[in-house]
């Protein structure tokens, strides 16, 4: 059975059934001897019950020739693989892939764009290095998760991008630990195909992420903290204003002056000139009518 040409609705039904029956963190399908699952799936796909075994074997044949390795879990799901993995229309749909980032020396066909998948290709040449395109790759992946990053081997340029993605997701993560996480996810005890130039690019990216991470906002603005330090003064209480008005005292504590200036000061947004105007305003005498 060829999945590249089946109607999208049929493909979507099949992929959804497989995804619902397997773990989100794995790339697999129920075994062919799970006859109940495959018979139910053939029915939901509009196929004959007699096609159940053929469908199961076709799915496993398709999946067995692809290698997807999970690098980052939800909510920023990222898979890594070689160029072959994204050629499987069924695999891409089963994993719910929304974005495919490819690192290559030439443009890559956007095979499943009609299915709603978005593509980005970082073309690496002697005059255009991957390090120059690293931030663009991370931005694309971050906005199209679940995503997959791939290169010719699946353990070279794509490993560099995957490590950078981990640092982007966890700014405190050290480059060496990011690389180790990718290595464990892909080759286990093997080696990644990364050069000294790649490691330098990752270190520079990590430094850029660390310096661009905004500091935590102060939590004591508008509050006078304990310990003697003085914060920005709070605006006058609107409750006190109402009470003063009932007693015949003009709102803001004084008469005359610029009413709009007092309003701005009460909201805490007045300028120094506004403050001076309020302090310089002479209190006016008030009379109460009995």
pLDDT digits (tens, 9 = 90+) for 161-173: 999 999 999 999 9
Question: Is 127 within a domain?
Answer: yes
96 CB contacts (<8 Å, ≥6 apart)? 19, 77, 146
Whether 44 and 158 share a structural domain: no
221 CB contacts (<8 Å, ≥6 apart)? 231, 232
The Cα–Cα gap between 128 and 137 comes to 14
Whether 46 and 135 share a structural domain: no
Residue 223: predicted pLDDT: 40
The whole-model pTM stands at: 0.72
Whether 22 and 83 share a structural domain: no
Other CB atoms within 10 Å distance of the CB of residue 276: 12
The Cα–Cα gap between 22 and 2 comes to 22
Question: Is 249 within a domain?
Answer: no
Q: Which helix (H) or strand (E) element contains residue 37? A: helix 35-44
pLDDT at 194 over 60: yes
Domain that holds residue 106: 67-212
Question: Is 277 within a domain?
Answer: no
- Based on the structure, what is the number of domains in the chain? 2
Nearest to 60 by CA among 23, 91, 17: 91
Whether 42 and 158 share a structural domain: no
CATH of the domain at 198: 3.90.190.10
Whether 161 and 90 share a structural domain: yes
Q: Which residues on neighbouring strands pair with residue 56, listed in sequence order?
A: none
Whether 136 and 88 share a structural domain: yes
The Cα–Cα gap between 173 and 159 comes to 16
Question: Is 153 within a domain?
Answer: yes
Asked if residues 97 and 79 have their Cβ atoms less than 8 Å apart, the reply is: yes
Q: Which of 16, 34, 65 is the last residue of a domain?
A: 65
Whether 145 and 198 share a structural domain: yes
Asked if residues 135 and 86 have their Cβ atoms less than 8 Å apart, the reply is: no
Residue 259: predicted pLDDT: 52
pLDDT digits (tens, 9 = 90+) for 44-103: 999 998 999 999 999 999 999 999 999 999 999 999 999 999 999 999 999 999 999 999
Quickly state the pLDDT bin for 266 (edges 50, 70, 90).
very low
Whether 48 and 76 share a structural domain: no
Q: Which of 189, 212, 235 is the last residue of a domain?
A: 212
Q: Which of 179, 212, 245 is the last residue of a domain?
A: 212
Q: Residue 285, by phi and psi: left (phi above 0), alpha (psi -120 to 50) or beta?
A: beta
Quickly state the pLDDT bin for 246 (edges 50, 70, 90).
very low
Residue 13, phi then psi, degrees to nearest 5: -65, -45
Three-state DSSP class for residue 99 = strand
Least-confidence region, from 54-68, 203-217, 254-268: 254-268
Three-state DSSP class for residue 151 = strand
Q: Which residue has the higher pLDDT, 252 or 203?
A: 203
Whether 52 and 144 share a structural domain: no
Residue 197: predicted pLDDT: 94
pLDDT digits (tens, 9 = 90+) for 169-187: 999 999 999 999 999 999 9
Whether 61 and 76 share a structural domain: no
Whether 80 and 208 share a structural domain: yes
Nearest to 198 by CA among 151, 238, 232, 240: 151
The Cα–Cα gap between 119 and 252 comes to 61
Q: Which residue has the higher pLDDT, 225 or 2?
A: 2
Question: Is 122 within a domain?
Answer: yes
Is the dihedral angle over the CA atoms 117, 120, 67, 186 positive or is it negative? negative
Question: Is 120 within a domain?
Answer: yes
pLDDT at 210 over 50: yes
Whether 54 and 144 share a structural domain: no
Question: Is 273 within a domain?
Answer: no
Question: Is 136 within a domain?
Answer: yes
Which residue is listed with tokens 């464990």?
184
């Amino acid at each position: 059975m060829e999945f590249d040409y089946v109607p999208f609705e049929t493909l979507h039904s099949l992929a959804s059934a497989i995804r619902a029956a397997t773990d989100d963190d794995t790339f697999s399908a129920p075994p062919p001897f799970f006859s109940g699952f495959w018979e139910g799936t053939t029915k939901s796909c509009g196929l004959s019950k007699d096609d159940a075994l053929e469908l199961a074997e076709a799915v496993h044949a398709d999946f067995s020739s692809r290698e997807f390795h999970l690098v980052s879990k939800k909510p920023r799901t990222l898979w890594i693989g070689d160029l072959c993995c994204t050629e499987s229309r069924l695999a891409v749909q089963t994993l719910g892939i929304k974005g495919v980032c490819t690192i290559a020396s030439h443009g890559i066909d956007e095979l499943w764009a009609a299915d709603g998948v978005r593509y980005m290709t970082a073309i690496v040449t002697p005059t255009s290095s991957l390090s120059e395109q690293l931030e663009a790759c991370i931005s694309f992946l971050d906005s199209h998760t679940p995503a997959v990053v791939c290169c010719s081997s699946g353990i070279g340029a794509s490993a560099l991008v995957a490590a950078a993605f981990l640092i982007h997701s966890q700014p405190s993560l050290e480059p060496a630990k990011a690389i180790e996480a990718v290595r464990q996810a892909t080759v286990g005890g093997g080696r990644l195909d990364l050069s000294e130039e790649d490691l330098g690019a990752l270190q520079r990216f990590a430094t850029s992420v660390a310096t661009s991470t905004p500091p935590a906002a102060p939590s004591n603005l508008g509050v006078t903290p304990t310990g003697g330090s003085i914060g920005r003064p709070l605006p006058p209480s609107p409750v006190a204003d109402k009470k003063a008005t009932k007693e015949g005292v003009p709102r803001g504590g004084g008469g005359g002056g610029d009413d709009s200036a007092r309003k701005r000061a009460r909201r805490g947004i007045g300028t120094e000139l506004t403050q001076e105007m309020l302090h310089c305003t002479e209190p006016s005498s008030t009379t109460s009518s009995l």
